[in-house]
């Protein structure tokens, strides 16, 4: 099977190539890059020398040659290519935000400042979080691959929301991402002297991933689920760590705030946390890439690096009234390219783990 990648020279494009080179069902690549057309991928990325020899073509040529197309493009660029694929019956997996909101053009326009050119395509698109939409992904022709921050956050909160653990109060999500999350083009904030030895929040209260997280949280909860999300830029190449604070519904609380300060709450907290952990383990029992960590081990980005895993650790505050979930993913793999390949595997009826068996690198 020949797969196409439009936008092959960006970080997500070349990460797709890295992962797909180890996929047994892939027999060839057709690659497009507007910025390097006429060159070849191994000239742009010499680490691929001897592994792939592929010229960089026009996007229309790639579509004509491919059984499936990945679009690793900026938001607002790929809609025309989606139309060409859709009309030709070629599955199209979009790694931008273009197809994440389905027919909800109003939200897309409010947060991204653009309108839909082909509303019918968006009505047909499926949000590509396998743990949520697997049965719909299987028959989809257009996939809106989730954002990296929403992936880490959503996987951390899905079981709590689905099992009715969360109170009506807003969920608070503090997340930190490596600099690859901002793409290959250099900006002032991702410039080495600014990013190194520093941890800083950005787009506080107005980040574009807020409506995506809120939308999926509401689907999981079956009601509106308000979210307060703050992203941070961390001095890392890869990884997203999300720390999520979920106020528990009364029936899930261990202790009142007053009681927590009158005697050591340890045994009661442990009992309640064990019950919550069992719910998470049962919820994700058949998910090959979700690891609910053992007690005493907090999720960390170095244990998922270069893999498609999402690690989740569970904690309670001393009053037993707030569940603290920590999730860790590699933003380039489970947060982007690995998830896209997982979606491809579902579409073609392959084992979801195919081509995604890389063991995490811990250093």
Q: Which pLDDT tens digit goes with each residue over 115-130?
A: 999 999 999 999 999 9
**pLDDT score for 1:** 95
- The pLDDT confidence band at residue 320, using thresholds 50, 70 and 90, is confident
The H or E element containing residue 346 is: helix 338-347
* CATH topology (fold) of 2-124: Rossmann fold (3.40.50)
The least confident of 255-259, 295-299, 305-309 is 255-259
Catalytic residues: 148
At CB < 8 A and 24+ separation, what contacts does 73-77 make? 73/6, 73/7, 73/10, 74/183, 75/112, 75/114, 76/112, 76/114
Q: Can you give the pLDDT at residue 188? A: 54
CATH 3.40.50.720 residue ranges of the chain are 2-124
Do 217 and 161 contact (CB within 8 A), yes or no?
A: yes
Q: Looking at the chain, which residues constitute the CATH 3.30.360.10 domain(s)? A: 149-331
Q: How confident is the model at residue 184 (pLDDT cuts 50, 70, 90)?
A: low
Among 14-28, 199-213, 343-357, which is the least confidently predicted range? Answer: 199-213
261 pLDDT higher than 50: no
In this prediction, residue 14 carries a pLDDT of 96
Check residue 259 and give its pLDDT: 44
Taking 90 as the threshold, does the pLDDT of residue 253 lie above it?
no
Contact assessment for residue 243 and residue 176, using Cβ atoms and an 8 Å cutoff: no
Q: Identify how many contiguous H helices and E strands the chain contains and give both numbers.
A: 13, 14
pLDDT-derived band at 24 (thresholds 50, 70, 90) equals very high
pLDDT for position 175: 97
User: Position of tokens 């607002």?
Assistant: 76
Q: Name residue 40's beta-bridge partners.
A: 55
Under 8 Å between Cβ of 149 and 176: no
Report which secondary-structure segment, H or E, holds 322.
strand 322-329
Distance in angstroms between the alpha carbons of the first and the last residue of the chain? 34
- Whole-prediction pTM: 0.92
Q: Reply yes or no on domain 149-331 having CATH 3.30.360.10.
A: yes
Is the confidence at residue 111, as pLDDT, over 60? yes
Q: Among 94-98, 261-265, 291-295, 347-351, which is the least confidently predicted range?
A: 261-265
Q: Which residues, in sequence order, are bridge partners of residue 311?
A: 291, 328
Residues 6+ apart with CB under 8 A from 235: 179, 195, 196, 197, 198, 199
Using CA atoms, how far apart are residues 99 and 125, in angstroms rounded to an integer? 6
Phi, psi of 316 (to 5 degrees): -125, 150
**Residue pLDDT, tens place only, 41-62:** 999 999 999 999 999 999 999 9
Q: How far apart are CA 47 and CA 37, in angstroms?
A: 19
Mean pLDDT of the chain: 91
| Whole-number Å distance between alpha carbons of 351 and 20 | 14
Residue 16 near residue 72, CB atoms below 8 Å: yes
Pairing verdict, β 28-32 and 56-57: parallel
């Amino acid at each position: 099977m020949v797969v196409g990648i439009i936008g092959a020279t960006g970080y997500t494009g070349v990460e797709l190539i890295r992962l797909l080179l180890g996929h047994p069902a892939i027999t060839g690549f057709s690659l497009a890059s507007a910025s390097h057309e006429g060159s070849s991928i191994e000239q742009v990325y010499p680490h691929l020398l001897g592994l792939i020899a592929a010229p960089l073509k026009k996007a229309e040529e790639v579509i004509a040659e491919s059984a499936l197309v990945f679009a690793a493009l900026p938001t607002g660029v790929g809609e025309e290519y989606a139309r060409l694929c859709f009309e030709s019956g070629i599955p199209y997996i979009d790694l931008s935000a273009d197809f994440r909101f389905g027919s909800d053009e109003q939200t897309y326009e409010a947060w991204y400042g653009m309108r839909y050119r082909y509303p019918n395509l968006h009505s047909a698109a499926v949000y590509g979080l396998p743990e949520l939409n697997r049965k719909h992904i299987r028959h989809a022709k257009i996939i809106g691959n989730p954002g990296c921050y929403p992936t880490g956050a959503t996987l951390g909160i899905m079981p709590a929301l689905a099992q009715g653990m969360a109170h009506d109060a807003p969920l608070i999500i503090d997340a930190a991402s490596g600099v690859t999350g901002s793409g290959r083009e250099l900006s002032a904030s991702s410039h080495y002297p600014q990013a190194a030895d520093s941890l800083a929040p950005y787009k506080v209260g107005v980040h574009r991933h807020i409506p995506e997280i809120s939308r999926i949280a509401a689907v999981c909860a079956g009601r509106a689920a308000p979210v307060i999300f703050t992203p941070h830029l961390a001095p890392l190449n890869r990884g997203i760590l999300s720390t999520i604070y979920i106020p528990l519904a009364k029936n899930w609380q261990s202790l009142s705030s007053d009681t927590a300060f009158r005697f050591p709450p340890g045994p009661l907290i442990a009992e309640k946390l064990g019950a919550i952990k069992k719910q998470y383990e049962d919820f994700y029992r058949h998910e090959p890439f979700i690891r609910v960590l053992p007690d005493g081990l907090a999720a960390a980005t170095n244990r998922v690096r270069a893999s498609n895993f999402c690690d989740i650790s569970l904690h309670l505050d001393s009053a037993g009234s707030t569940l603290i979930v920590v999730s860790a993913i590699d933003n380039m793999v489970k947060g982007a390219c690995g998830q896209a390949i997982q979606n491809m595997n579902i579409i073609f009826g392959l084992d979801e783990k195919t081509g995604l068996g890389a063991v995490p690198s811990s250093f």
